[in-house]
């Protein structure tokens, strides 16, 4: 009765304020988690190199991190559909803290790889919980912007981290940044426990269980794996994560030190500048994806990144190196949250965790295979051939998405049904699998 006395416009504004408050809280947690990831990004390859291993083995330090996510993304997504998103948002940073401190204490490459795996498990917990949480509190018309806001928070953390990590390494040694990250992750876990509310309601949990009993998870798996749209966005995610791990986090630092003589502090400053470019551009890119469709963001992004990678391979001066860094940062920003928003658009409402976990897994495959593969190629040929191979992959991913995905008015937001999304449309998982 009391509800009827409140005008609908006031209720809608109140609901919007609640959504924005939850978006703000998850974004704060993301800043805390990702600042830690950024701290070790310019330091990790140099730290691993101290153990006297090859470039390919250095790449494995990133692959071990991603391997944990590769194994756990889908089970954690299913778990988030059953027990909720908040447990993952709390446990993820705490497990990450353990893995980072252990990495700093590593006495050899084997120890480092094991602790990097633990840190990757924590990352899988947090990021899976976060992306499903954002899907819960957004609509098709706002999804890219909600994910983009969190991605901006992620980039703020990443932009702060490398400069801090480089300075800490130069001043106190290569192990100290890992300990600092452990403390930051612990703070993030406590913050999530105190401030972030659960979004999986009892009604949603009951609906999820009823749908699973009615159709079974196998039907969702089959629909996703048979979906051309899901395949196309999976290729994009594979290429993005491949580039992030293999080129940006492995080859770029090694190229900078070997060919240009850059220090850890200088590399940290460059990485921070790259992340700041993305911070500035990610929300305009998210608006682009919401208004004009996901393809309008994803396809140009792949082309720009491809050009930047080719220039990296030819860089023999700091000016050319910086030009390549700017292009890769701008290109990455243009894609922004569009791939995740696209996957969320076609996710069945009763299996959001499963869908987004599988979506992230496709990216983490690239994260796992990229560093050792391009590291091996660089060891046996040159940095130029490594970057060229990555550039070809990015171009093919953009072409695949451009050819396979058809966008029209009225986007499919769930299996077999239509939902509005900023004037773009994609065919749904259920339709594709039919």
5 found inside a domain: no
Question: Residues of the chain whose pLDDT is less than 50?
Answer: 1-17, 409-434
Encoding tokens for residue 88? 């993952």
Contact 398, 384 (CB under 8 A): no
2 found inside a domain: no
Q: What pLDDT, on a 0 to 100 scale, did the predictor assign at position 429?
A: 40
Other C-beta atoms lying within 10 Å of the C-beta of residue 388: 19
User: Phi/psi class of residue 336: alpha, beta or left (left: φ > 0; alpha: ψ in -120 to 50)?
Assistant: left
Q: What pLDDT, on a 0 to 100 scale, did the predictor assign at position 152?
A: 83
Q: What pLDDT, on a 0 to 100 scale, did the predictor assign at position 401?
A: 95
Q: What pLDDT, on a 0 to 100 scale, did the predictor assign at position 232?
A: 94
Can you give the residue range of the structural domain that contains 105? 21-433
53 found inside a domain: yes
- The phi and psi torsions of 142 (rounded to 5 degrees) equal -115, 0
Encoding tokens for residue 182? 């452990």
Encoding tokens for residue 69? 């996510």
Question: Whose CA is closest to 99, among 36, 182, 215, 159?
Answer: 182
Distances (CA, A) of 169 to 39, 47, 173, 386, 402: 10, 10, 4, 27, 43
10 found inside a domain: no
CATH number at residue 282: 1.20.1250.20
3 found inside a domain: no
13 found inside a domain: no
The interaxial angle of helices 338-345 and 264-292, nearest 10 deg, is 40
Question: Whose CA is closest to 236, among 362, 54, 367?
Answer: 362
Q: What pLDDT, on a 0 to 100 scale, did the predictor assign at position 422?
A: 34
Q: What pLDDT, on a 0 to 100 scale, did the predictor assign at position 302?
A: 94
Q: How far apart are CA 118 and CA 87, in angstroms?
A: 17
100 found inside a domain: yes
pLDDT tens for 284-300 read 999 999 888 899 999 99
212 found inside a domain: yes
Number of domains observed in the structure of the chain: 1
Q: What pLDDT, on a 0 to 100 scale, did the predictor assign at position 310?
A: 95
């Amino acid at each position: 009765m009391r509800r009827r006395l409140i005008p609908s416009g006031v209720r809608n504004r109140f609901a919007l304020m609640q959504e924005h408050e939850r978006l703000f809280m998850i974004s704060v947690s993301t800043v805390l988690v990702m600042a830690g990831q950024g701290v070790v990004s310019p330091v990790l390859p140099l730290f691993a190199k101290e153990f006297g291993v090859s470039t390919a083995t250095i790449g494995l330090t990133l692959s071990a991190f991603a391997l944990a996510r590769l194994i756990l993304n889908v089970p954690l997504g299913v778990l988030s559909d059953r027990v909720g998103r908040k447990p993952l948002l709390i446990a993820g940073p705490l497990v990450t803290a353990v893995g980072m401190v252990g990495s700093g204490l590593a006495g050899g490459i084997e120890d480092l790889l094991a602790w990097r795996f633990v840190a990757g498990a924590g990352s899988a917990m947090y990021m899976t919980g976060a992306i499903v949480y954002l899907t819960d509190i957004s609509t098709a018309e706002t999804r890219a912007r909600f994910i983009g806001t969190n991605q901006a928070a992620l980039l703020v953390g990443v932009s702060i981290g490398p400069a801090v990590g480089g300075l800490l390494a130069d001043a106190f040694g290569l192990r100290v940044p890992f300990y600092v990250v452990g403390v930051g992750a612990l703070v993030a876990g406590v913050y999530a426990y105190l401030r972030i509310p659960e979004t999986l309601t009892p009604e949603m949990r009951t609906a999820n269980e009823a749908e699973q009993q009615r159709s079974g998870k196998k039907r969702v798996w089959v629909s996703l794996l048979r979906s051309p749209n899901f395949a196309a966005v999976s290729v994009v995610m594979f290429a993005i994560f491949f580039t992030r791990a293999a080129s940006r986090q492995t080859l770029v630092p090694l190229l900078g030190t070997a060919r240009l003589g850059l220090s850890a502090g200088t590399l940290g400053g460059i990485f921070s500048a790259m992340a700041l470019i993305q911070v500035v551009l990610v929300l305009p890119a998210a608006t682009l994806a919401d208004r004009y469709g996901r393809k309008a963001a994803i396809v140009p992004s792949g082309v720009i990144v491809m050009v930047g990678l080719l220039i990296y391979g030819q860089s023999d001066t700091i000016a050319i190196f910086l030009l390549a860094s700017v292009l890769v940062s701008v290109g990455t920003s243009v894609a922004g949250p569009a791939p995740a928003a696209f996957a969320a658009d076609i996710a069945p409402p009763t299996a959001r965790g499963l869908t987004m976990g599988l979506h992230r897994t496709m990216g983490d495959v690239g994260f796992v295979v990229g560093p050792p593969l391009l590291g091996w190629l660089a060891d046996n040929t040159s940095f130029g051939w490594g970057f060229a191979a990555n550039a070809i992959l990015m171009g093919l991913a953009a072409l695949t998405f451009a050819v396979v995905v058809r966008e029209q008015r009225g986007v499919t937001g769930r299996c077999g049904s239509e939902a509005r999304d900023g004037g773009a449309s994609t065919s749904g998982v259920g339709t594709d699998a039919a």
